[in-house]
Structure 1
Amino acid sequence: MTVIQRVVKPTSHKGKKAIIKREAKLVEDAKATIFIKGSKSSQHVVNAMKDLYLLKKPDAVFMQKKNEILPFEDVTPIEKFCKKSNAPLFMFASHNKKRPHNLVMGRTFEHSLLDMVEFGVENYKSLKEFKVDKIASGLKPMLIFNGELFENNHQYQRIQNLLVDMFQREPAANIRLQGLEHALSFTAFENKIYLRSYKVLLKKSGTRIPKIELEEIGPRMDFVIRRNKLASDDLFKQSCKRPKELKVKKKKNIAVDGLGTTLGRIHMGAQKLNSIQTRKMKGLKKSLQERKEERKQKASVTSTESMET
């Protein structure tokens, strides 16, 4: 038995705008993140999640009420929250004796779970504890990943991809040096990922290139990797598929080297140099004396040939 769902069209201008905003686009907006508190969550992990919320603002939604959710048993409530808030990314804070100070990061694809990783928060130091000048809200951070695990381990590669999705913003066509003010560093070592946040200071150096110094502004925390639920390779490949309109058409015989120099290759047919007329300029013509000497040589050659015969 097939059930036909009735599609209710919006009648107000606000409703139409909301539906248009949810539609698929060629160039997507910055991905929003929804922050959810579990029924039992320690103040330690909630404060850590609030600091991450401040880093993610304004592309973030923080839910104040506690929710009876177990993500690794049933992720359906989180999928509903993500769909309702139009936020493909989520963070979930919880706490229990077996897994203290628990923080789950995940993302959805077509309103269904794609990836989900569970971390334990250790050595946490909040934003307020760093008594330094902070950065402006909504600034696009530079993401730095340190450690061989991000290159050699499949699990860490997917976690790196999730972290990039979580903290990046809209793509930038041009980069301004003064706009590079914030850096987020992730270092992978021995089943942990160390998160550090820095402010980039541009100091005078006496040359055109400024002297760069990093000042830690917080938050600081260590993520202990616990459980994970990663998508299959086929589903992950499908989620990374780009529309045809955005694919750059490859031009034949044109390549770009490592320094950004464009190189071209020209294919030419066989050239018959003997039959090519090369003397077309007056300056290249033989002088009168050269022509006389050439005639004498031809005459001497013909005379010797006739004597031999």
Structure 2
Amino acid sequence: MEALDRVVKPKTKRAKRFLEKREPKLTENTKNAILIKGGNANLTVTEALKDIYALKKPFAVLYKKKNITRPFEDQTSLEFFSKKSDCSLFLFGSHNKKRPNNLIIGRMFDYHVLDMIELGIERFVSLKDIKNSKCPEGTKPMLIFAGDTFDLNEEYRRLKSLLIDFFRGPTVSSIRLAGLEYVLHFTAMDGKIYMRSYKVLLKKSGCKIPRIELEEMGPSLDLVMRRTHLGSEDLYKLSLKQPKALKPKKKKNISHDVFGTSYGRIHMQKQDLSKLQTRKMKGLKRRPAAKMTEEDEGINPKKSKSI
């Protein structure tokens, strides 16, 4: 049994709070990522890890020391680092003659590797090479995916889901216009993935809606897909399963149209219209003279019959 697997009883209040944060919750915390540098990482891979860490902060942990490991051959070290840092996403950078400028992006499920995709860097422009203003730390990006390959190919479809998980940031309940400052654009074309980062500029347009311009901010990467390690369909469906407490309760006799309007169906018994209470008006009241005539008309036939 490993040191991280055994049951640990907290001795201080700080340790107790730390363990409570790691307990399962109905609404999970924002996913954190670990960025690990391999044993033979070159300058290009190191700068790429630093720039992606700058985009991902504060929900990321950067390991500055080199770690000699091969994720596609042995995943135990990645799972150990994931459990130690409480991170469900990882990015591993390495460089060798067979696979130069290599990035491996992946995610965990229950501290075990679920999906892992290897990407090669063919062109890289760092944040410091583009002399423009940058977005503040912790800005939530807008993600744009272009290209039919992301929907037609299974590996690219899983890569799209993985990139959304990696860069989406915290879940927010409301959005303000001034907070939309940052765009991440991914294009799949001719067997390559082009990653571009832009800053959104809101300029005067003479009306309430501002004029939008995009200014390249960096980093910029041209990537090519290499090896893949994808989880099975059953394990992937299990990772997407939600607890019953989060599922909305189905309400009977309520339907919605395409515009979101709610319609309710009410079941009523058949009404007796003779007992229906209508509005009382003086003009509808029967007068004494009318009552006398009705009584006289009702008595005459009875007298005739008796006679």
**Deviation at 1:215?**
1.0
Gap runs ≥5 in structure 1: 296-309
Residue 39 of structure 1 is matched in structure 2 by 39
Residue 102 of structure 1 is matched in structure 2 by 102
Q: Distance in 2 between matches of 1:107 and 1:37?
A: 17
**Deviation at 1:272?**
6.8
**Deviation at 1:64?**
1.2
Residue 304 of structure 2 is matched in structure 1 by none
SS of alignment partner, residue 184 of structure 1: strand
Gap runs ≥5 in structure 2: 295-307
The answer as to whether partners of 1:39 and 1:68 remain within 8 angstroms in 2 is yes
SS of alignment partner, residue 24 of structure 2: coil
Residue 300 of structure 1 is matched in structure 2 by none
149-158 vs 266-275, greater mean Cα deviation: 266-275
Opposite residue 122 of structure 1, the aligned amino acid is E
Residue 15 of structure 2 is matched in structure 1 by 15
**Deviation at 1:277?**
4.9
Report the count of equivalent residues. 286
Structure 1 residue ranges (4+ consecutive) displaced by more than 6 angstroms after TM superposition: none
- 1:264 and 2:260 matched: no
Q: Distance in 1 between matches of 2:278 and 2:85?
A: 78
Residue 48 of structure 2 is matched in structure 1 by 48
The answer as to whether partners of 2:89 and 2:107 remain within 8 angstroms in 1 is yes
**Deviation at 1:10?**
1.9
- 1:162 and 2:182 matched: no
**Deviation at 1:39?**
1.1
Opposite residue 266 of structure 1, the aligned amino acid is R
**Deviation at 1:37?**
0.9
Residue 120 of structure 2 is matched in structure 1 by 120
The answer as to whether partners of 1:115 and 1:230 remain within 8 angstroms in 2 is yes
SS of alignment partner, residue 155 of structure 1: helix
Q: Distance in 2 between matches of 1:49 and 1:136?
A: 18
Per the alignment, do residues 286 and 122 of structure 1 end up closer, same or farther by CA in structure 2, a change over 3 Å counting? Answer: farther
The answer as to whether partners of 1:91 and 1:103 remain within 8 angstroms in 2 is yes
The answer as to whether partners of 2:82 and 2:111 remain within 8 angstroms in 1 is yes
Residue 180 of structure 1 is matched in structure 2 by 180
Q: Distance in 1 between matches of 2:140 and 2:20?
A: 26
SS of alignment partner, residue 113 of structure 2: strand
TM-score computed with the length of structure 2 as normaliser:
0.85
Residue 254 of structure 2 is matched in structure 1 by 254
**Deviation at 1:115?**
0.5
Q: Distance in 2 between matches of 1:191 and 1:287?
A: 91
In the TM superposition, what whole-angstrom CA distance separates every residue of 1:190-211 from its partner, at most 9, and x where no partner exists?
Answer: 2221111111111112222111
TM-score computed with the length of structure 1 as normaliser:
0.85
Per the alignment, do residues 283 and 216 of structure 1 end up closer, same or farther by CA in structure 2, a change over 3 Å counting? Answer: farther
Q: Map of 1:125-140 to 2, 5 A cutoff?
A: 125-140=125-140
The answer as to whether partners of 2:253 and 2:266 remain within 8 angstroms in 1 is no
SS of alignment partner, residue 65 of structure 1: strand
Residue 147 of structure 1 is matched in structure 2 by 147
Q: RMSD of the alignment, in Å?
A: 2.4
Per the alignment, do residues 255 and 134 of structure 1 end up closer, same or farther by CA in structure 2, a change over 3 Å counting? Answer: farther
Q: Distance in 2 between matches of 1:89 and 1:202?
A: 33
104-113 vs 183-192, greater mean Cα deviation: 183-192
Residue 307 of structure 1 is matched in structure 2 by none
Opposite residue 264 of structure 1, the aligned amino acid is Y
Opposite residue 224 of structure 2, the aligned amino acid is V
Residue 79 of structure 1 is matched in structure 2 by 79
The answer as to whether partners of 1:279 and 1:285 remain within 8 angstroms in 2 is no
**Deviation at 1:247?**
1.4
**Deviation at 1:14?**
2.4
Residue 217 of structure 2 is matched in structure 1 by 217
Residue 66 of structure 2 is matched in structure 1 by 66
Per the alignment, do residues 149 and 38 of structure 1 end up closer, same or farther by CA in structure 2, a change over 3 Å counting? Answer: same
Name the % identity. Answer: 50
